[in-house]
Structure 1
Amino acid sequence: MNRRPEHLTEREEEILRCIRRGIEDKGEGPSVRQLAHAVGMRSTASVAYHLANLERSGALIRDGRGWNTCRLGH
């Protein structure tokens, strides 16, 4: 059972779905640029902002410097 904090925004849930799909399909999460494209955002900085929020909430855990090395938390 995947438990997520209840305070995630709809956009953050969408980003998590894209990351989950990337991990299932390719074994690693998509890049910030790929995430931006997948969720219809132009700004990679906005995606990075959402990723940082997800990391703070514990929904994502980064294993390295890049976001594509992250794994799902909780």
Structure 2
Amino acid sequence: MTLNEQQTRIVPSDREWVAEYGEASTVRELAAAVGVSSSSSIAYQLWRMREQGVSVETRGRRSGWCPYCGH
């Protein structure tokens, strides 16, 4: 399992968010924490990470279906 540069920034940002706020971030909040303006690029990276077995939890989507990646 090899993470790209953006993915390696996502994991600690997500953990820091949970430690500070006590809950998972939204995709938009995670994008802001990583320093990316596009939440769709973060959603794509999360999808790729899940394919590799790396789970990063986000909140805000009740249906569980992501319009960016279809999962």
- Asked whether 1:42 is paired with 2:33, we answer no
Compared CA separation, residues 14 and 68, structure 1 to 2 (3 A): same
Structure 2, unaligned stretches of length 5 or more?
Answer: 61-71
RMSD: 1.8
TM-score after normalising by structure 2: 0.70
Compared CA separation, residues 53 and 38, structure 1 to 2 (3 A): same
**2:46 alignment counterpart:** 51
Alignment counterpart, residue 9 of structure 1, candidates 4, 8, 15? 4
Deviation of 1:61 after TM superposition, in Å, equals 5.7
Structure 1, unaligned stretches of length 5 or more?
Answer: 70-74
Compared CA separation, residues 45 and 61, structure 1 to 2 (3 A): closer
Q: Distance in 2 between matches of 1:38 and 1:61?
A: 14
Alignment counterpart, residue 17 of structure 2, candidates 22, 31, 43? 22
Identity %: 32
Q: Which residue identity lines up with residue 59 of structure 2 in the other structure?
A: N
Point out the structure with the larger strand share.
1
